[in-house]
Structure 1
Amino acid sequence: MNSVVVVESPAKAKTINKYLGKDYHVLASFGHVRDLPPKDGSVRPDEDFAMSWLVEGRGEQRLKEIAAALKGADKLILATDPDREGEAISWHLTEELKRRKALNGIEVERVVFNEVTKSAVLDAMRHPRALDKELVEAYLARRALDYLVGFTLSPVLWRKLPGSRSAGRVQSVALRLICQREEEIEAFKPQEYWTVEGKFRTAAGQIFPARLTELDGKKLEKFDLANEAAAQRAVATVTGGEPFTVRSVERKTVRRNPFPPFTTSTLQQEASRKLGLGASRTMRVAQRLYEGVDLGGETVGLITYMRTDGVQLSQEAIAAARKLVAAEHGARYVPSEPRQYKSTAKNAQEAHEAIRPSDISRKPSDVARYLEADEARLYDLIWKRTVASQMASAELDQVGIDIVSKDGKAVMRATGSVILFDGFLALYQEDRDDPSDEEENGGRLPNLTERDGVTPTEVTPEQHFTQPPPRYSEASLVKRLEELGIGRPSTYASIIQVLQDRDYVKIDKKRFVPEDRGRVVTAFLESFFNRYVEYNFTADLENQLDEISGGRIDWKTVLRDFWRDFSAAIAGTKDLSITQVIDELDKELGPHFFPERADGSDPRVCPGCQAGRLSLKLGKFGAFIGCSNYPDCRYTRRLGVSNGEDGSDVDMGPKLLGQDPATNLPVSLRKGPYGTYIQLGEAVPGAPKPKKKKKKAKGKDEEAGKANGTAPADTTPEPPKPKRVSLPRGLSPADVTLDKALSLLSLPRLLGPHPEDQLPIVAGIGRFGPYIKHGDRFKSLGKDDDVLTIGMNRAVALLAEPSTGRGGRGGAPGKKIGEHPADGQPITLHAGRYGQYVKHGKINATLPKDIEPDQLTVDQAVALIEARAQAKGVKRGGAKAKAKAKPANDDAALAEPKAPRIKAAASATAKPPAKAKAPAKAKAKSKAKTKAKAKPKARTEPAASDTDGE
């Protein structure tokens, strides 16, 4: 029997192919072979949510390969991933192959396995099943919802909010979380409080710390010591209360249980905290560990499937973990009963095992030499978490000692914690994302009993301020989304990436900071589509999708209910004017952008004219804050909270830095549509712009005049333009001084002659940033180079480096991936200005983000090159494909002969045929007709989908 097995990736296909015999032919689909076209009408609610699917370049090639392999085969085995997305890939393959009549007489089976090991794969082959209809319908419902939200709501944003990109069903809710946290931080007002700390000495000479907890018979609350004066009075009470004695000693033993094995969400969180890996990077590395790694000739999947909400382990894994713990740590570290874990997620996905090593006896030290650095670190993390989950609890001795003054007015408390038995802590400790989560336990305390005397050696007041809630990190955002039941852990990585790609958020010190564009989009959605960014609504919709996968709700019923209300909300914005949008956003964001000032002055008074009112404005580059007296007052500033000091962090209006001593012209800092810049001088007010001269036939008089120099000339001098220079990257507007501005305005500066050819080397700032120039060659400066201080030695070294620009001269040779099967020419991998790309002949194809350069195969490279060639209309070999216009029918071709081409006469005396003047009315009619035909180009930017390739 000859069977064709289809999996998602080449790596997985390579691994499984080694487990199966010669009767099996394993192929990769490279994920989905078809998807909804990114245009209107792909999902049609009026046709009961009918969907159109499109097979694109890479999918077409994969389908042809699979169809060719099926010729003469008896069976098609679909072995895609064991989740909803894997089921959908198998369904798409089946439907498309049926449509192409490639499955006639061929049996189709579906197999699933949770780990890519020989035993698991062979066992799955012995227990095939049919496609899971409910899982497919859950996929269809989710895909339709994401499409309808993205492609219906995004055009509303484009029309009503210039500068916005897209909206998404889960993406917009995640953005709202980030924006709301930022609002909490900006509205936060720190509150001062004080504590009194002391150090005490025992009779045996041991020193230990304590804190004042009771004063004058009253238990101290956090803000009872509100200022320094109150703290000093408390210090006087403590120091005047000697001697001190121990009033009570409290001891208790507490147990800390190990954490459950990893789910997708907890793996992303812990990898972010411990390893510094983002969610996308974590999932890519885990994918490689799951699909198979070559361990010295044996290819094996090192971990189980990495997209799961389950925390349970198989009995075999539990037994293996307990056996290993006993051997490595001793019998005391093995609990009396195996530990069983149950998922607490609100919307736990399909029942999968937790993420664990496929073979627990395979220690990280055994495989580290076969893995890349991130792979080894992630495997170590997964292995330790799994083994620790089956270890004994840790035991801690917690001690609290109350020390009272002689007069009873002051009570100091000392706390300590000592590990009596480390248990699972011997192998694994979980990191905390929020420092406030840390347990406030001190170290070991001296062995004291009641009525023991102690002596204060130091009593000091300490000032504190309350802290705002921290910004979300990737770990804490994933945790919060999971707590709210929003989205799926398997999609969090793609959602976070989309928010960054759309410039809605940025990452600063590993924390999410909302951009201006993201804040305005969130305010717009909260004002006009509040229901669809509510956390409960999104979570309830997720629950309905779970009900679909369980076969308890019809998927089209969910779509009908959603679309009825959503389409009505969209229709309600049809007549919404830009003015209404601005007014609503100004009302919504006003308290945020114009907070009350400490001096009581009006935060909306324009600092430019002192008469206008500041409010939110919308321009073609997005939202900003401007004056109501425009155009008389042109004061603007970028979005941000005004601090009332005209700070450069928020000011977009001209900021005078001083005068240039050489020219006495003003030097100012300004904000333009392309960033912040420095300007020397001012544009002449009311100066006319030079008009473009219309081309017209030259008359004899004009020709003659020009020939003898008597033609009238335009002697009006053009007004001088002020000199401008952009701020180099890394230089904050707040750090720009007059001296720094004058140095930048003096660019380009001469560094000196090149030692080889004596041609000058100059440094300057151009449209692409800081550069050095040697002859006709330009070289961009590195991120650590300063255009104002770079010297000759560094410049010569930079010029000696090979250029890495795509297709540029002097580019570094690429790494050979292999040879193209069509012509045997090499395929090479290069690092370009915009990232990694593969090259074959004249075709360059960018590597997608989900493909690691070091894991790139020849098949993947060929697929990328073929897709790029089709997109460019290039034949194999590099020649451009010529499109030939084909007539509708032969009769039409005969009836309308081709117009002859008129060649220009060789004689210089030949005159062109006279052109009759069209009547004025005919001209106007022709012009109006041409104008009517010109339609604005439709925007085809695809909206973000909340579903990634699971």
Structure 2
Amino acid sequence: MTKTLDNKTLVIVESPTKANTIARFLGSDYIIDSSFGHIRDLPKSKLGIDCEKNFEPQYVIPTKSRKQVNALKKEVMKVKEIILATDEDREGEAIAYHLVEALDLKDKLAQGDVKRIVFHEITESAIREALSHPRSINMAMVDAQQARRVLDRLVGYKLSPFLWKKVMRGLSAGRVQSVAVRLIVQRESEIKDFKPVEYYTIEVELEAYDKELKKHIITFALAKIGGKAIEKPGMTDKDKVENIILDLPKSVWKIENIIKKDTKRNPLPPFITSTLQQTAVNRLGYSSKKTMMLTQRLYEKGYITYMRTDSVNLSKEATLVASEFITENYGKEYALLKPRKFSQKSKLAQEAHEAIRPTNPKVLSASLNIEPAEKKVYEMIWQRFMASQMQSASITSTTIEALAKGKDKYTFRVSGSMIAFDGFLRVWPTKMQEITLPNIDEKKEVLYKKSSSNQHFTEPPARYNEASLIKALEEHGIGRPSTYASIISVIQDRNYVIKNEVKRFEPTEIGEIVNNLLVEHFPKIVDIGFTSDVEESLDEVALGVSNWREVIKEFYEPFNKNLEKKYEEIQKSEIVPEEKTDKKCPECSKDMIIKRGRFGKFLACSGFPDCKHTEKIEGESGGANTSLFKSVSTGIRCPECGQGELVSRRVGKGRARGKIFWGCNRYPDCKHAVWENPLAEKKEKKEKDA
């Protein structure tokens, strides 16, 4: 006999995809529906926090969520039991809490008719296991999410109007994003202030015979003078270098030492959110935002475990399946006798029980009916997981030292390495270059052939790309795995930073202005140590150690007091001084002045607001900030006209304003243009051909 709707259980998750996957595992006794993400939030039109009532949030149901909330309200009235199966992190816990509030489930919760389940993979066994072990909503985790939301709203809602008044309209500031901008601005200052140091290296070619009497020409590099190692970066005395070059042909040469060493190279831990994002940038060229979107899909389809995690733990079952697969496909010499465990860095690893891994390690990407981009990410996750449970690689390294006795003793060195056993490298691609050195004898004389000195200059620190910025944020304790992608997205959307033609971050002029203002007048907002301490306080809230309202109070009271003071103290002209010009306004004949907008400098009439005449500045690309942007030639011939050359440019108007593209330098005669960097495509093709 078919059960009526009254006897059914309603399972609520966040997304329709997740709902469809779970529905495959559960029978007709269950109805699976989704909330379509958060169903309650702070209002967009006002602060939404009562600071006088202990920072009480005033949540509302957004317009876009009302239809679904009403539908869920009808469903909960018809079923006997409700299961809240949202994600296992703070956001998921908060959604579960808001579902109880928005759907009026408090009474049902008290009666035991509302249950909370969590799982870190969407498989039948994981869902069944979770259903057999329901728990209550973890209010400590809800409070931690609530505290972050309230903190970010207070900073953004209070500081943004200040920036509008003191700098320019349309600006905004975020608690964590401002620190990310500061890191980028600091790096730009280091690059500008960098003074290169000239140094030299010396190389020599020697003729030697191996044990089979075969002749070899080997290139060595100078490592020691008089037994003392050359300090980094290298030799800075050009005259001394030239004297050594003159002395080498007259010196007596022999092989002094041959050092052979066997080392083990261990695999990296399976992915956590931050390392996945970094590796996807470096290996696949995917932004952190794209990577998280793809992994969200893979998770909801049931192919990988939960992708927001800072735990490197692996389940016993997963490592057992991996061991079986490795033995069957690569041989037992590649399998471990017992699972490899990795040390845990996160204090909150219990928030996510496992690292990111395939739900079924025996499933290869080629067998999945998914998009190509999803396959690439899945394959990378599979490789990293499988490699973590394989034997270490054995590397044999050889160093040969040649000694020259002339006016001084000069030690030259050459090193090579070979993979004796590939181990985990069988599945985890590496850029390691094997160099084989000839098998020669120690203490044998060798013949000098020629030498050369090479001039070098020390280089400034590299600008951040997405991978290195995420790594820096993680090392400084800024943000958490679930926030990195949004931080990077927001600072670009606000035009505080841009990606240059090689996808590295540069601050815009307005980004530097806002950063300098915050550093001088709101130092705690952009202080790396302070922001890290706030993150730790939020972690303590999640653990139930600290009260979330006390954390907010400790931050907000001094911040708000300082903000009120700065409204009185700071004049706009101090922050963004207007530049005078000799040009007259064509409409009212008053002086034209240079002002700054979100996208760079422009000319404006000094008679504003009586006269609103404005003009573009030559080279400012329609208002986009190009003061930090130089057009770069690629050296690649235009594929359309065959005469011009592709150069980088920046969009000056429209929704894509400020974005980099590559076009023919014969414009407007040739209008060929592409978004993708042709140099990157050329490099990728070269690597594939190799």
**TM bracket, shorter-chain basis:** 0.7 to 0.9
Say yes or no: does 1:180 pair with 2:172: no
Residue 377 of structure 1 corresponds to: 376
Letter in 2 for 1:500: Q
Residue 926 of structure 1 corresponds to: none
Give the drift of 1:98: 1.0
Letter in 2 for 1:390: Q
Residue 266 of structure 2 corresponds to: 257
CA distance in 2, matches of 1:505, 1:347: 31
Instruction: Identify if the C-alpha distance between structure 1 residues 289 and 238 changes in structure 2 by more than 3 Å, giving closer, same or farther.
Output: same
State the SS of the aligned residue for 2:341.
coil
CA distance in 2, matches of 1:312, 1:166: 39
CA distance in 1, matches of 2:397, 2:109: 69
Specify the structure having the higher radius of gyration (Cα): 1
Give the drift of 1:240: 2.2
Give the drift of 1:462: 0.7
Residue 569 of structure 1 corresponds to: 562
| Per-residue deviation, residues 525-545 of structure 1 (Å, max 9, x unmatched) | 100111221111111111111
Say yes or no: does 1:533 pair with 2:526: yes
Candidates 8, 32, 36, aligned match of 2:38: 32
State the SS of the aligned residue for 2:262.
strand
Give the drift of 1:454: 1.7
CA distance in 1, matches of 2:376, 2:652: 42
Higher helix share: 2
State the SS of the aligned residue for 2:185.
helix
Residue 357 of structure 1 corresponds to: 358
Letter in 1 for 2:291: T
CA distance in 2, matches of 1:733, 1:571: 37
Give the drift of 1:75: 1.1
Give the drift of 1:226: 2.2
CA distance in 2, matches of 1:729, 1:166: 17
Structure number with the bigger relative contact order (C-alpha 8 A, sep ≥ 6) is 2
1:164–1:517 Cα contact (<8 Å) kept? no
Candidates 203, 206, 218, aligned match of 1:200: 206
Residue 658 of structure 2 corresponds to: none
Residue 618 of structure 2 corresponds to: 676
CA distance in 1, matches of 2:28, 2:228: 83
CA distance in 1, matches of 2:601, 2:452: 43
Candidates 290, 300, 304, aligned match of 1:291: 300
Residue 386 of structure 1 corresponds to: 385
State the SS of the aligned residue for 2:566.
coil
Letter in 2 for 1:193: Y
In structure 2, runs of 5+ residues without a counterpart are: 1-6, 604-613, 633-650, 655-660, 673-690
Residue 404 of structure 2 corresponds to: 405
Matches within 5 A, 1:474-553: 474-508=466-500, 509-553=502-546
1:141–1:555 Cα contact (<8 Å) kept? yes
Give the drift of 1:141: 1.1
Instruction: Identify if the C-alpha distance between structure 1 residues 258 and 122 changes in structure 2 by more than 3 Å, giving closer, same or farther.
Output: same
1:334–1:391 Cα contact (<8 Å) kept? yes
Letter in 2 for 1:676: E
State the SS of the aligned residue for 1:489.
coil
CA distance in 2, matches of 1:731, 1:525: 22
Give the drift of 1:486: 1.1
Letter in 1 for 2:331: G
Candidates 213, 218, 223, aligned match of 2:223: 213
CA distance in 2, matches of 1:44, 1:291: 37
State the SS of the aligned residue for 2:525.
helix
Letter in 2 for 1:359: N
| Per-residue deviation, residues 541-598 of structure 1 (Å, max 9, x unmatched) | 111111111111111111121122212221221212316743xxxxxxxxxxxxxxxx
Residue 814 of structure 1 corresponds to: none
Residue 788 of structure 1 corresponds to: 668
Residue 424 of structure 1 corresponds to: 424
| Per-residue deviation, residues 52-76 of structure 1 (Å, max 9, x unmatched) | 1111222101111111212321111
Residue 415 of structure 1 corresponds to: 415
State the SS of the aligned residue for 1:317.
helix
CA distance in 1, matches of 2:595, 2:157: 32
Residue 303 of structure 1 corresponds to: 304
Say yes or no: does 1:557 pair with 2:550: yes
| Per-residue deviation, residues 481-513 of structure 1 (Å, max 9, x unmatched) | 111111111111011100011001111112111
CA distance in 2, matches of 1:518, 1:729: 10
Letter in 2 for 1:316: E
State the SS of the aligned residue for 1:575.
helix
| Per-residue deviation, residues 74-102 of structure 1 (Å, max 9, x unmatched) | 11111111111001001111101118999
Residue 236 of structure 2 corresponds to: 226
Residue 50 of structure 2 corresponds to: 44
1:182–1:513 Cα contact (<8 Å) kept? yes
1:175–1:522 Cα contact (<8 Å) kept? yes
Q: May I ask how many residue pairs the two structures share in their alignment?
A: 620
State the SS of the aligned residue for 1:530.
coil
2:474–2:480 Cα contact (<8 Å) kept? yes
**Amino-acid identity (%):** 38
2:120–2:352 Cα contact (<8 Å) kept? no
Give the drift of 1:221: 2.3
Give the drift of 1:412: 1.1
CA distance in 2, matches of 1:374, 1:767: 31
Matches within 5 A, 1:835-854: none
CA distance in 2, matches of 1:430, 1:415: 19
TM-score by length of structure 1 reads: 0.61
Residue 462 of structure 1 corresponds to: 454
Give the drift of 1:788: 2.8
1:210–1:413 Cα contact (<8 Å) kept? yes
State the SS of the aligned residue for 1:199.
strand
State the SS of the aligned residue for 1:91.
helix
Matches within 5 A, 1:728-743: none
Instruction: Identify if the C-alpha distance between structure 1 residues 143 and 732 changes in structure 2 by more than 3 Å, giving closer, same or farther.
Output: closer
Say yes or no: does 1:235 pair with 2:237: no
CA distance in 1, matches of 2:38, 2:227: 71
Residue 824 of structure 1 corresponds to: none
Give the drift of 1:290: 0.6
Instruction: Identify if the C-alpha distance between structure 1 residues 118 and 348 changes in structure 2 by more than 3 Å, giving closer, same or farther.
Output: closer
Residue 72 of structure 1 corresponds to: 78
Letter in 2 for 1:127: H
CA distance in 1, matches of 2:388, 2:552: 41
Letter in 2 for 1:237: D
State the SS of the aligned residue for 1:237.
helix
Say yes or no: does 1:328 pair with 2:316: no
CA distance in 1, matches of 2:338, 2:552: 47
State the SS of the aligned residue for 2:215.
coil
Letter in 1 for 2:618: T
Letter in 2 for 1:789: D
1:471–1:511 Cα contact (<8 Å) kept? yes
Residue 437 of structure 2 corresponds to: 445
CA distance in 2, matches of 1:501, 1:152: 20
2:272–2:312 Cα contact (<8 Å) kept? yes
CA distance in 2, matches of 1:733, 1:171: 23
CA distance in 2, matches of 1:11, 1:530: 44
State the SS of the aligned residue for 1:360.
coil
Instruction: Identify if the C-alpha distance between structure 1 residues 782 and 215 changes in structure 2 by more than 3 Å, giving closer, same or farther.
Output: closer
State the SS of the aligned residue for 2:568.
coil
Matches within 5 A, 1:123-202: 123-163=129-169, 165-202=171-208
Instruction: Identify if the C-alpha distance between structure 1 residues 459 and 518 changes in structure 2 by more than 3 Å, giving closer, same or farther.
Output: same
CA distance in 1, matches of 2:110, 2:349: 38
CA distance in 2, matches of 1:163, 1:272: 34
CA distance in 2, matches of 1:237, 1:337: 58
